[in-house]
Chains A and B, each alone.
Chain A
Amino acid sequence: MRIVDPHSEEEVADILRAAHEDGAAVIPRGGGTKSDWGNPPARTDIMLSTARLNRVIDHAWADLTVTVEAGCTIAELQCALARRGQRLAVDPLWPGRATVGGVLSTNDTGVLRLRYGGLRDLVIGVTLALADGTLARSGGKVVKNVAGYDLSKLVTGAFGTLGVITSATFRLHPVPKYTHTVTAAVPDLGAMQRLLNRILDSQLVPAAVQVRAGTGAPQIDVLFEGTEEGIHAQVDRLQEMTPVTENDAEVWKRLDAGAKISVLPARIAETLEGLVGYAVVEATGIGWVQTHRLSPLRAKIEAMGGSLVLMRPYEGMDAWGDTAGSAGGDSLPLMRAIKQRFDPRGILNPGVFVGGI
């Protein structure tokens, strides 16, 4: 396998154009932290590293937006934004190495999603290098914009199978003045679910809520952000529902787990019942599970209308779904048609995505 590390979007396009003509398979790579995610590629001829595309192009702080090249790491980006008291409101895994392009392509948002939305809601524009070397922009640099198709959303979570993201523009949020984490221990999963439902049905506005379950009693962590007065009032209100103790921000450090699950928030307890292993599930219903019994858990979750996708290869399991056609469902033919239009020769990350795309 040949490794190339272009330093401009035009070079990325040139490499892809040549690969397209040769029918050579291209594996885009950011920090290389998530190369185990998805199914293993069917072919690997060229590894296209975005490492040298690492500039913060334009931090328009007064407009609360940033345009950044795909190879910039999340930590470097956040550091640049923090100089103006701003941040991209995501907390993906391995921020020191994970890149903007990789995080977008794998849609790894993190726990702040409850309050600030997912990457799909924060990305407002992308530049894409398509398989045939076309360079295309979609969206723009303004938060509110409905001109043309929103291709930024199409490539978010597409695992690089439709094009290589060379740069992206995001809406930003101010770094909160105060943050405060509290934890409630609950006797069992049933009590956990009841408390979680009450928090979500209340007028509290936590930035993040997560459930930790495995050995011992389940715990619920709640993160508040905002003004000192607002945080105190909300912690007091939460205290009326359940005893809580102050906790360290370390509790939000993301779990490097074997699988990502997505279930309905009100069915988290049901999902975790009988789990042999450990899980952290966010109040959005997205969770991270470490267990040796992935297959039965997937069957149970799929029957509930949710999904379990692998974060690393697991013998005999497809990364995306088990039941024939469950991943992608009746829109899989359309997904294939889109892939065909964007990458007719199937050179980008072949076989990595849903349904063998």
Chain B
Amino acid sequence: MSFLDQLRHILGPHGLISASEEARTYECDGLTNFRVMPLAVALPTSAEQVQAVIRICHRERIPFVARGSGTGLSGGALPVKNGIVISLARMNRILEVDLPNQRIVVEPGVINLDVTARVTGAGYFYAPDPSSQSVCSIGGNVAENAGGAHCLKYGFTTTHVLALEVVLPDGTLAHFGSKTLDAPGYDLAGVFVGSEGTLGVATKITLRIVKRPQCVQTLLAAFKSPNEAGAAVSDIIAAGMLPAAIEMMDNLAIQAAEAAVHANYPNCGGLLLVELDGPVAEVDTLMAQTSAICRENGASEIRVAQTDEERALVWKGRKAAFASVGRISPNFIVQDGVIPRTALPKILDEIERLGLASGLRVANVFHAGDGNLHPLVLYDRRIEGQEKGAERLAERILELCIEMGGSITGEHGVGEEKKHMMGKMFAEPDLATMQRLRCAFDPLSLSNPTKVFPRPRLCGETPGEYQPHPLEVAGVAERF
């Protein structure tokens, strides 16, 4: 039987897409400027099917890329050449809800917001809230260690994943972590979350859910510039507060959001959005303090959204920010860098300078509380040279993040897009050490093999010593 026939045998006639027209949907993820046609797309409905597919891939040495909803912004779910895509979209059941222990067990294809929907009646929610939460899947969130606006207080996906069932790259099923904390052994769930599909495929995920706070208040404050807004953020942190979220948008981002969703934002140079939650008495006190801090830092207008409707509108504008930019520019690059929060004024000046020098506009949206920047570099593909210029500018911003002691990605992942930047952020021994982990999981480099790291490497039998890899011996691969 051919490779594809073997897959069809496992998955049934409707579980495999091999015609190129149908497979075209899968040629890219949310990072659309990279496209690769997969050999085929597997649509398993169970962990057993995932296992069987990966066993065949392992036997035939065919690389595979797991895919959730395909909303990733760094090309993590981009197919690899001569490899297959394993879509987990059909594994979308919520398997168990355990309210007394505040846990929920889901399959990887479950949509982020559906987890909250399932427990909202009992007063709970699932905390990680990437802007794409109405469409992105938990499996994808796990792969990328998705964040969101509220991770300042509630933590990232990794904080909320307690246990995983994983199909390893040789087809073995393994269980990481446990419904109870601190299961004896290495924290494999901890390293798997955020490994961008390079260590295997999660088929079952145990998540923590959180009780809804007694009250939530969201403050909007208008400042002359992002720098004044940034000073207010510093004072809020210095006052010992840990807001649920602190977001910032510059004027261009505000204009875009207004054009798209009419969030009724004040027209200003720097808009700050601070959300506090918790017991009413506490939130009232801290909100008064936050308002005072904003006023002291020169806020011209301060509004507190009190009702759920008002809050929803405030957040709609922020969450739609990336897509809204399409209203003011034909093309744009979404970047995801991190700096120590105190370096904010410095990097904003630099971004402005770089923008002017290259003749490109940059809209800025930040998770200001944790220094995660999302500069949006606007360009027009039809104008000769602009796309290249925009890519260069976006990359230069990441280099600045590294120079300021930050990171090349806060929540979107390295994927395909930024793997060439890894060597700028980490030294060779750091990358080689990460490679040891990868080799322990995937000695044949089959699981999303071309992502995250700057260049493909093969795993020798013993780390540090050269030994020809079976694929090298067979003349199938060469060492880089």
Contact = CB atoms under 8 A, between A and B. Distances in A.
Interface of A: 60, 62-65, 85, 107, 113, 117-118, 120-121, 128, 130, 132, 134-138, 140-151, 153-154, 156-158, 162, 173-177, 197, 200-205, 226-227, 229-230, 232-234, 237, 260, 262-266, 284-286, 305-307, 309, 320-321, 327-335, 337-338, 340-342, 344, 353-355
B329 interface: no
B129 interface: no
Contact of B158 (A153, A203, A329): A153
Interface of B: 99-102, 123, 144-145, 147, 151, 155-156, 158-159, 168, 172-176, 178-188, 190-191, 193-195, 211-214, 234, 237-238, 240-242, 278-282, 284-286, 338-342, 367, 370-372, 405-414, 418, 422, 425-427, 429-434, 436-441, 452, 462-464
Contact of B101 (A60, A264, A335): A264
A329 B194 CA distance: 22
6 tightest Cβ-Cβ pairs between the two chains A and B: A230-B282, A153-B190, A174-B240, A233-B281, A266-B100, A136-B433
B130 to A, nearest CB: 12
A157 to B, nearest CB: 6
A322 B473 CA distance: 44
A285 B405 contact: no
A341 B440 CA distance: 7
Contact of B188 (A227, A309, A334): A334
A134 B340 contact: no
11 contacts: A62-B237, A136-B433, A146-B194, A146-B411, A148-B426, A156-B190, A158-B186, A227-B286, A234-B281, A306-B178, A329-B175
Contacts of B371: 63, 142-144
Nearest to B411: A146
Contacts, number: 271
Contact of B407 (A60, A147, A329): A147
Contact of B427 (A137, A234, A328, A337): A137
Contact of A64 (B186, B237, B462): B237
B279 A264 contact: no
Contacts of A335: 185-186, 188
A355 B180 CA distance: 19
A334 B240 CA distance: 42
B191 A149 contact: yes
A107 B186 CA distance: 11
A148 B406 contact: no
Nearest to B74: A146
B409 A107 contact: no
Contact of B187 (A144, A154, A332, A342): A154
B95 to A, nearest CB: 15
Secondary structure call for the B interface: loop
B370 A144 contact: yes
Contact of B102 (A64, A130, A200, A334): A200
A191 to B, nearest CB: 16
A230 B281 contact: yes
A60 B99 CA distance: 39
A307 B191 contact: no
B429 A136 contact: yes
A111 B151 CA distance: 22
Nearest to A153: B190
A340 B459 CA distance: 13
Nearest to B406: A142
